[in-house]
Amino acid sequence: MGPLDVQTYLFEHKFQQANAMRNAKNVIEEVSKDFEKLTGRKYSLFEEYKMDDAEIVIVCMNSTAGTTKYVVDNLREKGIKAGLLKIRVYRPFPAEEIAKALSKAKAVAVLDKADSVNGAGGAVFTDVTSAMYLQNANVKMVNYIYGIGGRDTTSYDIEGVYNDLMEIVNTGKVDNPYRYFGVRREN
């Protein structure tokens, strides 16, 4: 049939697509295990860096994680319990697993390299906060938009985020959950 068939079964096709995305997580984990057997390198849905006892955590993706690891190491040398969760697989979103990994933190910052026009933070932030809510994990969370248009992200920027997280832990307050760093501002 023609376009009528697609329209008639669009809802069913979307239902199948949603189930396929849920099942894809298992397939990704199976392939990752096979890859580890072949190469000795392990790749999970996300990477946890110094998360065992982390009180303040940054969630980010891609190359920003390298800069964040450097800052985490420096903070750890000072006795600050900083950690990093680097998302490797964004779709399907590993919601339950991420919520479990973040549930022991005292404050979390989610970094997004794109802003949404929803007024409720970037896409990664809304996915992480939704995951936390559905798992009843009550952790103070903030969102930072950064790096848009290729703007550089420095270790100083990342350290500033961790400083903000320490302030949230000390005060127990999140005055503004929607934040930016690296934006030029008029004086």
Report pLDDT for 2: 53
Give tens-digit pLDDT for 55-75. Answer: 999 999 999 999 999 999 999
> With bands split at pLDDT 50, 70 and 90, how would you rate the model's confidence at 4?
low
All domains in the chain, ordered by first residue: 3-39 (no CATH), 46-180 (3.40.50.920)
CB atoms within 10 A of CB 74: 15
**How many Cα atoms within 13 Å fall on the side-chain side of residue 83?**
21
* Mean pLDDT of the residues in the chain: 94
Contact of 61 with 26, CB cutoff 8 Å: no
> With bands split at pLDDT 50, 70 and 90, how would you rate the model's confidence at 105?
very high
